[in-house]
């Protein structure tokens, strides 16, 4: 037949082999860091260390150690200057402590100034190229949005990746302080945390007796398909700290639901018949709120909460999409809703 | 070379299709198998070609049972041309014929000079050289059949088994194929077993004729011995008159159905 | 090793005795037509090279070509070098390898089943790989990513074995193979979905993997896939002629000395190897294994000595190009790569179809 085909095939194999050889050699060469890390070292398995040893010898002993959500320790001598935030919660925390990030995920749009930051992709799939192009020296990730695999890949950028998790009010105050300290804004972080803690304490001081505390159902979703927020969700934690009882108990997450939520049907809700229903509409700003859509259903009208006028729309951003320092405002909104008689 | 069937029996499930066939093909012989449809001609050929396993009895090539042969070695000695083939897409005639060299080629497939010669020869003998680059799907039924025939020839077997090789060919090409068979037989000592439905062709081209009916050999021998009105009546249920043409070849003239 | 006896063959298709031989009427080329297959092969190689270059040079961050070149040569520190060496180069290379694996697996399976609609997903090979990988992650969410390819390969083999078991009746015919494959794919798909529902894994983690894509794939994945790719490509090329013989039909192939059942099993195993390893590193990417073999055969005919390498090169090019588009068009977001492969491949396929008919 034709030997041309064989020759071209051989040539192709040789070229592929050369490319491969070069490429496989590349891996060892390319593990050096993309950017210099500003005096930050991380310990624990698999982490990459910077030249912290030299820097800590010449700097004053301001070196502090922090632990992130995954249990890894980070030693920070000087606050990082180029920090990329990987979730809306992180962005808000950083603004709250007065140390805004360098870049944000595209879904983060609070506060107003954040919108002018460059976007590095979505929270679920941050763009490594965009992040690298920012030449960061520190990354703050969100455990609920970036899984361990993504974090591992992020670590390859050669900078420390500090993972936070905002699943409760305590998480907010904890990380306000931690992030504040990391960024050299210890006082601001402490102040922001204390403000929230103060609101909680004030509310808890004025709680009525056990039997007068409301049973609350937190409904998240649309009229066709909604979830109930369980005690281990952020909104569930908020009402718990305010002394309310969650109509839905803890239990395994149901099929297809995000962590902390359970799928629910209208029948089950009617069976529970809670005192208060807090509705989180996620259909977007142009769609009618979920509570109004549900109002069309006669079964809905039979709920005690509906009859008593105790169905309230509550903001999705602060409770679900971007749990963070704005919980202070949420507490202010919730207290009169839960305890209208005080 | 010898290809022999001894007491060959073959069943399709519960149905017995071949009842104890005994036949020996000697080197350089041309044998024709004739008989009505369903008499077992194809089945017998496929058993000889090692495609069907005997239910009883044995088939031997060069004295060894077929099961003892490796498939590749067997394929170097025996080739089969079937009646029907699955459509082959996108292959050129030359590409198809070249596959006949497979039993002779090792793992690395660069074709040798012997391969090229065999392919060219096969194409030439089947008058397919002008069509060699065309795709099989572009050819007529008859041309496709010739291409498969060329494939079998490219195998350079010692024994060629043909199942109705003249089906779908026009008269001229029927002659071409049969003359070619005879020529290969004379030049290369190719042994041939072919199933034919035209008794006259069987008489003219084969040294020995075997008449099959319902899986049994009714008669075996030279054309003169075997082609008699009595045997044709017994096998086909047809009344015929056997004539001799001016060339000396037997001609079978049908008269009508027996019992009409 | 004989097949089950089959009834008398029906007469061949084609004209009856009335039509004359067409050769006397059609124009006869006087010389052998120029064999353009080596040219197509070369063209496919060039195409793959070009798409890979584009994939390295382009991305969601603008890196000037001069810098790309410098980075490849080992100069430059910093973000640009990191982007080129650690993000784009491995990702592009991986896309090429995965695309080649899937295209070759599809070509082999279409030959084995003699069915132009066969592809690795249809026959339960990728479903088996996905099931085992999801099972592993369910049992141990911290399963190292390096363990997924062998697991997925094992899953593919198990899938193939189950398909064989279901299809076996004195041997495996192409039709039974296909039907059993469809059944197993559906079964495994149902198991995988069920597993996802009861699993406490975050949906995100698994869905993004299952949806198929090359997001966050770097050198470790390339190193993992490379041996499977190498063995698979070599085996496929060595078996190319046997594929041609098998395509003639079970009986003609047996007559030519091929052990049909054994070859069919080996080829299915080869397809499982290629598919399983590809699925393990890149999830389920459809379309490549189905359409690229057709395009290759349209360009160079069914002879697998050319069809296999051309399919491989085109599959690699398609996936590299699709991934490039997926990660730049909606930057900084990424589209699912399967959508892009379909968007590119389908119209091109239709164009080729209309040109030839």
Which chain C residues have a beta carbon less than 8 Å from that of B106? none
A1 near B CB under 8 A = yes
Q: How far is A138 from chain B (nearest CA, A)?
A: 56
Question: Greatest CA separation found in chain C?
Answer: 78
Q: Which residues contact A158 (CB under 8 A, 6 or more apart)?
A: A32, A33, A34, A35, A37, A48, C82
Which ipTM was obtained for this model? 0.90
Which chain B residues have a beta carbon less than 8 Å from that of C8? 37-38, 42
Beta bridge partners of B8: B21
Q: pLDDT exceeding 90 applies to what percent of chain A?
A: 41
A143 near C CB under 8 A = no
Give residue A37's pLDDT band: very low, low, confident or very high (50, 70, 90): very low
Q: Per-residue pLDDT averaged across C197-220, rounded?
A: 70
Beta bridge partners of B191: B159
C346 near A CB under 8 A = no
Chain A, 6 to 35: residues with Cβ < 8 Å from chain B are: 6
Q: Which residues contact B253 (CB under 8 A, 6 or more apart)?
A: B240, B241, B242, B243
The residue in chain B having the minimum alpha-carbon distance to the alpha carbon of residue C32 is: B133
Among positive and negative, which fits the CA dihedral A103, A109, A111, A114? positive
Cα distance between residue C312 and residue C233, in whole Å: 9
Cα distance between residue C219 and residue A30, in whole Å: 10
Q: How far is C256 from chain B (nearest CA, A)?
A: 5
Which member of A2, A24, A255 has the closest CB to residue C197?
A255
Which member of A15, A32, A35 has the closest CB to residue C79?
A35
CB contact under 8 A, A9 and C37: no
**pLDDT tens-digit series, residues A54-64:** 344 444 446 78
C244 near B CB under 8 A = yes
Which member of B42, B96, B140 has the closest CB to residue C15?
B140
CA count, 13 A, side-chain hemisphere, A156:
22
Q: How far is B186 from chain C (nearest CA, A)?
A: 24
Q: Which residues contact A312 (CB under 8 A, 6 or more apart)?
A: A276, A277, A278, A279, A291, A337
Give residue C141's pLDDT band: very low, low, confident or very high (50, 70, 90): low
Q: Which residues contact B221 (CB under 8 A, 6 or more apart)?
A: B208, B209
CB contact under 8 A, B86 and C249: yes
How buried is A333 (Cβ within 10 angstroms: 0-12 exposed, 13-18 middle, 19+ buried)? middle
Cα distance between residue A280 and residue C46, in whole Å: 55
- pLDDT given at position C210: 67
- pLDDT given at position A165: 93
A4 near C CB under 8 A = yes
Least confident of B68-77, C15-24, C135-144: C15-24
- pLDDT given at position B117: 94
Chains touching C (3+ CB pairs < 8 Å): A, B
Q: Per-residue pLDDT averaged across B95-119, rounded?
A: 88
CB contact under 8 A, B98 and A1: yes
Give residue A46's pLDDT band: very low, low, confident or very high (50, 70, 90): very low
Give residue A192's pLDDT band: very low, low, confident or very high (50, 70, 90): very high
How buried is B127 (Cβ within 10 angstroms: 0-12 exposed, 13-18 middle, 19+ buried)? middle
CB contact under 8 A, C333 and A106: yes
Q: How far is B102 from chain A (nearest CA, A)?
A: 14
- pLDDT given at position C130: 84
A contact test, residue of C32, C35, C41, C336 with most A CBs within 10 A:
C41
The residue in chain B having the minimum alpha-carbon distance to the alpha carbon of residue A3 is: B110
- pLDDT given at position A44: 39
Residue A43, pLDDT > 70, answer no
Which member of B71, B95, B140 has the closest CB to residue C257?
B71
CB contact under 8 A, B109 and C114: no
B16 near C CB under 8 A = no
B contact test, residue of A1, A5, A7, A13 with most B CBs within 10 A:
A1
Chain C, 279 to 308: residues with Cβ < 8 Å from chain B are: 297-298, 301-303, 305
Q: Which residues contact C11 (CB under 8 A, 6 or more apart)?
A: B83, B84, B167, B168
Q: Per-residue pLDDT averaged across C3-32, rounded?
A: 39
Q: How far is C38 from chain A (nearest CA, A)?
A: 5
Give residue A12's pLDDT band: very low, low, confident or very high (50, 70, 90): low
Q: Per-residue pLDDT averaged across B30-40, rounded?
A: 92
The structure tokens listed for C222 are 């390339």
> What is the residue-wise DSSP string for A266-288?
HHHHHHH--SEEEEEE-S-TTSP
For the full predicted model, state whether its pTM sits above 0.90: no
B88 near C CB under 8 A = yes
**pLDDT tens-digit series, residues C79-117:** 778 888 888 999 999 999 999 999 999 999 999 988 888
Q: Per-residue pLDDT averaged across A169-191, rounded?
A: 93
Which chain B residues have a beta carbon less than 8 Å from that of C31? none
Q: Which residue has the tokens 């949005």?
A: A145
**pLDDT tens-digit series, residues A218-250:** 998 888 778 899 998 999 999 999 999 999 888
Instruction: For B217-247, give one letter per residue: b (16+ CB within 10 A) or e.
Output: bbbeeebeebbeeebbeebbebbbebeeeee
Cα distance between residue C149 and residue C132, in whole Å: 10
Average pLDDT along chain A: 81
CB contact under 8 A, B143 and C252: no
Residue C62: other Cβ atoms inside 10 A: 10
**pLDDT tens-digit series, residues C265-318:** 999 999 999 998 898 888 888 889 999 999 999 889 888 989 999 999 999 999
Cβ(A59)–Cβ(A39) below 8 Å: yes
Q: How far is A32 from chain C (nearest CA, A)?
A: 9
Q: Which residues contact C52 (CB under 8 A, 6 or more apart)?
A: C92, C93, C96, C320
The residue in chain C having the minimum alpha-carbon distance to the alpha carbon of residue B85 is: C12
CB contact under 8 A, B143 and C21: yes
CB contact under 8 A, C78 and A135: yes
The residue in chain A having the minimum alpha-carbon distance to the alpha carbon of residue C83 is: A129
Give residue C13's pLDDT band: very low, low, confident or very high (50, 70, 90): very low
Which chain C residues have a beta carbon less than 8 Å from that of A28? none
CB contact under 8 A, A12 and C37: no
- pLDDT given at position A11: 57
End-to-end Cα, chain A, rounded Å = 95
A3 near B CB under 8 A = yes
CA count, 13 A, side-chain hemisphere, B60:
13
CA nearest to C297, candidates A10, B91, A34: B91
At B4 the three-state DSSP class reads strand
Give residue C206's pLDDT band: very low, low, confident or very high (50, 70, 90): low
Residue B53: other Cβ atoms inside 10 A: 15
Interface residues of B toward A, Cβ cutoff 8 Å, are: 98, 110-111
Which chain B residues have a beta carbon less than 8 Å from that of C249? 85-86
Q: What is the DSSP letter of C121?
A: T
Residue C357, pLDDT > 60, answer no
Q: How far is A205 from chain C (nearest CA, A)?
A: 38
- pLDDT given at position B245: 86
Give the CA-trace dihedral at A166, A168, A173, A174, to 10 degrees.
-70
C contact test, residue of A24, A26, A256 with most C CBs within 10 A:
A26
CB contact under 8 A, C15 and B83: no
Which chain C residues have a beta carbon less than 8 Å from that of B141? 12-16
- pLDDT given at position C356: 64
Cβ(C156)–Cβ(C272) below 8 Å: yes
Q: pLDDT exceeding 70 applies to what percent of chain A?
A: 80
Q: Per-residue pLDDT averaged across C203-210, rounded?
A: 60
Would you tell me the crossing angle of helices C219-238 and C304-328 to the nearest 10 degrees?
160
CA count, 13 A, side-chain hemisphere, B222:
4
The residue in chain A having the minimum alpha-carbon distance to the alpha carbon of residue C206 is: A147
A contact test, residue of C73, C201, C204 with most A CBs within 10 A:
C204
A12 near C CB under 8 A = yes
A55 near C CB under 8 A = no
Cα distance between residue B83 and residue B78, in whole Å: 17
B201 near C CB under 8 A = no
Which chain C residues have a beta carbon less than 8 Å from that of B169? 17
CA nearest to A85, candidates A55, A58, A119: A119
CB contact under 8 A, B76 and C16: no
- pLDDT given at position A19: 53
Give residue A33's pLDDT band: very low, low, confident or very high (50, 70, 90): very low
- pLDDT given at position A9: 58
Give all strands (DSSP E) within chain C, no chain letters: none
User: Parallel, antiparallel, or unpaired: how do β-strands A311-313 and B30-34 relate?
Assistant: unpaired
Q: How far is A19 from chain B (nearest CA, A)?
A: 25
Average pLDDT along chain C: 82
The CA distances from residue B192 to B21, B25, B159, B182, in Å, are 18, 8, 6, 9
Average pLDDT along chain B: 89
Cα distance between residue C57 and residue A119, in whole Å: 21
């Amino acid at each position: 037949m034709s030997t041309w085909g064989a020759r071209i095939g051989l040539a192709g194999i040789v070229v592929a082999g050369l490319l491969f050889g070069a490429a496989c050699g590349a891996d060892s060469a390319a593990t050096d860091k993309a950017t210099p890390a500003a005096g930050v070292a991380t310990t624990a398995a698999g982490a990459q260390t910077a030249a912290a040893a030299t820097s800590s010898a010449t700097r004053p002993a301001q070196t502090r150690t922090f632990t992130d959500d995954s249990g890894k320790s980070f030693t920070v001598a000087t606050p990082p200057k180029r920090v990329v935030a990987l979730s809306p919660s992180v962005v808000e925390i950083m603004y709250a402590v007065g140390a805004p990030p360098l870049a944000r995920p595209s879904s983060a749009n609070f506060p107003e100034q954040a919108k002018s930051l460059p976007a590095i992709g979505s929270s679920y799939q941050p763009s490594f190229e965009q992040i690298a192009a920012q030449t960061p020296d520190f990354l703050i990730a969100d455990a609920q949005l970036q899984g361990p695999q993504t974090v591992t890949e992020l670590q390859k950028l050669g900078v420390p990746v500090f993972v936070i998790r905002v699943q409760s009010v305590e998480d907010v105050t904890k990380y306000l302080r931690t992030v504040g300290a990391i960024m050299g804004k210890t006082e601001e972080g402490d102040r922001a945390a204390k403000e929230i803690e103060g609101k909680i304490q004030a509310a808890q001081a004025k709680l009525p007796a056990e039997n007068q505390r409301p049973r609350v159902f937190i409904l998240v979703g649309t009229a066709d398909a909604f979830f109930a927020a369980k005690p281990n969700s952020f909104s569930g934690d908020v009402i718990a700290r305010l002394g309310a009882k969650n109509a839905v108990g803890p239990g395994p997450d149901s099929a297809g639901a995000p962590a902390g939520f359970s799928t629910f049907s209208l029948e089950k809700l009617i069976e529970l018949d809670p005192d208060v229903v807090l509705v989180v509409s996620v259909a977007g700003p142009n769609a009618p709120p979920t509570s109004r859509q549900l109002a069309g259903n006669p079964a809905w009208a039979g709920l005690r909460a509906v009859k008593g006028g105790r169905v309230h729309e509550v903001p999705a951003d602060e409770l679900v999409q971007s749990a963070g320092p704005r919980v202070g405002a949420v507490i202010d909104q919730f207290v009169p809703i839960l305890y209208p008689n005080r | 070379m010898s290809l022999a069937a001894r007491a060959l029996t073959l069943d399709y499930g519960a149905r017995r299709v071949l009842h104890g066939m005994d036949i020996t093909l000697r080197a350089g012989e041309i044998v024709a198998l004739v008989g009505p449809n369903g008499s077992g001609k194809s089945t017998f050929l496929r058993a000889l070609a090692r495609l069907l396993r005997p239910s009883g009895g044995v088939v031997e090539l060069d004295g060894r049972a077929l099961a003892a042969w490796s498939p590749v070695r067997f394929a170097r000695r025996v080739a089969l041309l079937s009646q029907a083939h699955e459509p082959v897409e996108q292959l050129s005639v030359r590409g198809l014929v070249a596959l006949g060299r497979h039993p002779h080629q090792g793992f690395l497939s660069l074709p040798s000079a012997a391969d090229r010669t065999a392919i060219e020869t096969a194409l030439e003998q089947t008058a397919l050289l002008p069509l060699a680059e065309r795709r099989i799907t572009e050819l007529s039924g008859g041309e496709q059949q010739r291409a498969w025939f060329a494939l079998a020839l490219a195998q350079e077997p010692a024994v060629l088994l043909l199942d109705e090789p003249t089906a779908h060919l026009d008269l001229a090409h029927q002659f071409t194929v049969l003359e070619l068979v005879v020529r290969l037989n004379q030049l290369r000592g190719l042994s041939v077993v072919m199933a034919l439905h035209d008794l006259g062709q069987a008489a003219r081209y084969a040294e020995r004729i075997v008449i099959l009916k319902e899986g049994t050999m009714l008669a075996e021998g030279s054309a003169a011995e075997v082609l008699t009105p009595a045997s044709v009546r017994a096998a086909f249920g047809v009344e015929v008159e056997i004539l001799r043409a001016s060339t000396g070849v037997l001609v079978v003239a049908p008269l009508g159905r027996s019992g009409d | 090793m004989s097949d089950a006896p089959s009834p008398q063959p029906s007469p061949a298709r084609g004209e009856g005795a009335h039509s004359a031989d067409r050769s006397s009427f059609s124009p006869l080329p006087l010389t052998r037509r120029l064999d353009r297959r080596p040219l197509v092969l070369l063209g496919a190689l060039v195409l793959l090279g070009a798409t890979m270059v584009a994939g390295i040079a382009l991305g969601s961050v603008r890196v000037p070509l001069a810098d790309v070149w410098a980075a490849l040569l080992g100069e430059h520190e910093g973000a640009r070098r990191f982007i080129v060496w650690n993000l784009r180069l491995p990702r592009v290379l991986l896309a090429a390898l995965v695309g080649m694996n899937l295209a070759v697996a599809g070509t082999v399976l279409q030959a084995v089943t003699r069915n132009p609609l066969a592809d690795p997903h249809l026959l339960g090979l990728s479903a088996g790989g996905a099931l085992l990988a999801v099972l592993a992650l369910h049992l141990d969410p911290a399963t190292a990513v390096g363990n997924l390819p062998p697991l997925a390969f094992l899953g593919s083999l198990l899938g193939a074995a189950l398909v064989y078991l279901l299809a076996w009746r004195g041997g495996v015919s192409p039709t039974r193979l296909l039907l059993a494959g469809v059944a197993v794919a559906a079964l495994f798909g149902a198991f995988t979905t069920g597993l996802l529902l009861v699993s406490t894994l975050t949906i995100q983690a698994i869905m993004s993997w299952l949806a198929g894509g090359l997001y966050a794939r770097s050198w470790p994945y390339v190193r993992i896939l490379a041996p499977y790719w190498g063995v698979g490509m070599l085996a496929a090329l060595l078996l190319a002629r046997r594929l041609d013989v098998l395509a003639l039909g079970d009986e003609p192939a047996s007559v030519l000395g091929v052990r049909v059942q054994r070859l069919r099993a080996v080829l299915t195993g080869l397809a499982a190897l290629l598919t399983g390893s590809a699925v393990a590193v890149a999830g389920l990417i459809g379309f490549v294994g189905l359409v690229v073999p057709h395009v290759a055969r349209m360009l160079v005919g069914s002879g697998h000595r050319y069809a296999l390498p051309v399919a491989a090169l085109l599959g690699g090019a398609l996936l590299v190009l699709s991934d490039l588009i997926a990660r730049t068009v909606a930057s900084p977001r990424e589209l699912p790569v399967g959508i892009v492969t379909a968007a590119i491949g389908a119209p091109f396929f239709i164009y080729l179809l209309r040109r030839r008919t």
